[in-house]
């Protein structure tokens, strides 16, 4: 990372499946070992003034809960430290992945997906609805319904004054 930062001035470092990183010296507890890795990555990011994006596996708890397979922060696999150290945690959820084809109200899910903002140190948490294009392996903005506009007859407005 140091070499890439100083040679190419990278602004973002992406690490896929951080659970596969090992820490030297080896430790007895994998959770603690990954916590040390996270602390080093965060230190490096601050020192180099760049963003770091980590991907993480989820535990199987999402499949057991039955609430549309929606993941939560505690589902991050093998480390509670990730919850503590991360500034932002985004969780992806695809209804079709869990075999969910209709919402509870009977509306079809289609290719709907969610980005769940589970942690946001300097902002709001929440949910963003997206569409997943499986042919491209890409999440796209979901077409939102137009905002409702209410029009009142002119005489009705004067009655309210």
* Angle, CA 12 vertex, CA 138 and CA 142 arms, to 5°: 25
Please say whether the beta carbons of 15 and 55 come within 8 A.
yes
16-35 burial, b if ≥16 CB within 10 A, otherwise e?
A: eebbeeebeeeeeeeeebbb
80 pLDDT more than 50: yes
The whole model's pTM is what?
0.74
pLDDT band at 67 (very low <50, low <70, confident <90, very high): low
Tokens of 104: 């509870």
Range of weakest confidence among 19-23, 44-48, 133-137, 155-159: 155-159
Distances (CA, A) of 104 to 67, 94, 95, 109: 10, 15, 12, 10
Nearest to 57 by CA among 35, 33, 82, 39: 82
pLDDT band at 79 (very low <50, low <70, confident <90, very high): low
First and final C-alpha spacing in the chain: 65
Q: For the segment 21-35, what is each residue's pLDDT rounded down to a tens digit?
A: 776 666 677 777 788
82 pLDDT more than 70: yes
> Which three-class secondary structure string do you get for the chain?
CHHHHHHHCCCEEEECCHHHCCCCCCCCCHHHHHHHHHHHHHHHHHHHCCEEEECCCECCHHHHHCCCCCCCHHHECCCCHHHHHCCEEEEEEECHHHCCCECCCCCECCCEEEEEEEEECCCCCEEEEEEEECCCCEEEECCCCCCCCCCCCHHHHHHHC
């Amino acid at each position: 990372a140091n070499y890439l930062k100083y040679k190419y001035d990278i602004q973002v470092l992406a690490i896929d499946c951080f659970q596969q990183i090992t820490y030297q010296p080896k430790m007895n507890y994998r959770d603690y070992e990954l916590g040390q890795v996270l602390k080093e990555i965060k230190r490096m990011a601050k020192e180099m003034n760049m963003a770091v994006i980590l991907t993480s596996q989820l535990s199987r708890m999402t499949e057991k809960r039955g609430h549309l397979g929606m993941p939560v922060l505690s589902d991050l696999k093998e480390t509670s430290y990730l919850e503590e150290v991360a500034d932002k945690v985004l969780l992806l959820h695809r209804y079709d992945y869990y075999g969910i084809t209709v919402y509870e109200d009977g509306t079809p899910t289609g290719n709907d997906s969610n980005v769940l903002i589970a942690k946001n140190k300097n902002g709001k948490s929440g949910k963003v609805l997206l569409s997943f294009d499986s042919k491209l392996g890409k999440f796209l903005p979901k077409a939102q319904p137009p905002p409702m506009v209410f029009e009142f007859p002119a005489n009705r407005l004067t009655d309210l004054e």
